[in-house]
Amino acid sequence: MSTPQRLRILLVEDDPIFAAVTAEVMRERALVRWTPTAEAALAAAGEKDWDLIITDIELPGMSGLELVMKIKAAQPHVATLILTGHRSFDNAVEAIRVGADDFLTKPVDRPTLIEKINELAQLSARRKAESSSAVLAIGAHPDDVEVGCGGTLLGHVAQGHEVSVLVLTGGEAGGLPAERAREAARAAELMAVRLIHVNVGGDTVGELDAIVTEIARVLDEVRPDTIYTHSEHDFNQDHRSVHQATLAAAAAVPRIFCFESSSTTVEFQPSRFVAVDEFMDRKLAVIRAYTTHVRQRRHLDAELLRATSRYWSRYGQSRFVEPFEVAREITSDSDGADASESRIDLEAVLGAETVDA
């Protein structure tokens, strides 16, 4: 029998002794990361594709139940197990109500815990396979994609989706091409996405035919079911060209959403709003990878990016939002899906809050 791969488990427990004992029990089977608070766990939850998150109920600050609820919303495929010191019916009912996958009472014996983590890791794997998704974000210049939909892409990564970024030029005037290429590579590394950086027409994207051909080549390879790209409502000619070329090349892709840029016009009218609260700080850290540009370009200013994201949050309940125009949205089982159906579908894909304006 081959050795099974070690599981990635996030353990949330404010009692360091109990945490150490529990981690020791699981050590052979899993790589365990321990955090003492739900707030720290929430930050860690988005960094990795966890097989299982185990949490106590009573924690300083946010409770374990609230944590489970937030994880279910952001990463619905990740299994959750509640460990509690109190054998109470109310706790069990609450655990089920917030969507926890299982519930154990302390002290937990070794075989029970091992059996439970194996079972729940399989549940995560099954759910991930069922919801597997390939995502492609297409930008004319380095940093366009990060600014327009960086938080949304981080959300896809957190859910275990395959995310690729296609950049079609070396960059506008404003930075040495080699330097900008290094920055783009660093940004992709920070987001844990694959970067496909081509240079279709030098500084600008050039002829439409050439871009369509290039995008079609990448689509063949990535086979995305969701695309993010520029809006047609944009002053920048390159951005508009990429929008047109994407729609032309991606005739078979069911979902195409268009992001905002610093040059989108007042005609930009988003109808989809994705909550990115958990990913806002990381989005800004990714954008800081464009260090040479952050200094010279005002549209990369962190305060401006935060303020813009806050502005769109008036269409949702979250604090930070990325807005999208819907260029195309076809659900798998019907061609002319109605709005409510497609909204549920995107929620399933993103696990994020979406609101139709």
Interacting residues with Zn ion between 125 and 184 (CB under 5 A): 140-141, 144
The string of DSSP letters for 93-109 reads: HHHHHTT-SEEEESS--
99 or 201: CB nearest Zn ion: 201
290 or 315: CB nearest Zn ion: 290
129 or 176: CB nearest Zn ion: 176
Residues 252-290: b if buried by 16+ CB within 10 A, e if exposed: ebbbbbbbbbbbbeeebebbbbbbbbbbbebbbebbebb
Helices (H), the chain: 16-26, 38-45, 64-74, 89-97, 110-130, 144-158, 177-191, 208-222, 237-249, 280-287, 291-296, 302-312, 339-350
256 or 300: CB nearest Zn ion: 300
Residue type present at position 296: Q
Q: Which residue is nearest to Zn ion (CB)?
A: 141
144 or 183: CB nearest Zn ion: 144
291 or 317: CB nearest Zn ion: 291
Cα 356 to chain centroid, rounded: 20
Min dist. Cβ of residue 295 to Zn ion (A): 17
What binding mask, one character per residue, do residues 9-48 give for Zn ion by CB under 5 A, x or -?
----------------------------------------
Give the tokens for residue 89. Answer: 């019916």
Min dist. Cβ of residue 251 to Zn ion (A): 24
In whole angstroms, what is the distance from residue 43 CA to residue 45 CA? 5
Min dist. Cβ of residue 207 to Zn ion (A): 18
Min dist. Cβ of residue 234 to Zn ion (A): 9
Min dist. Cβ of residue 104 to Zn ion (A): 51
Interacting residues with Zn ion between 206 and 245 (CB under 5 A): none
Residue 220: exposure state from Cβ atoms within 10 A (0-12, 13-18, ≥19): exposed
Number of residues that bind Zn ion (CB under 5 A): 3
Residues in the site for Zn ion, rule: CB under 5 A?
140-141, 144
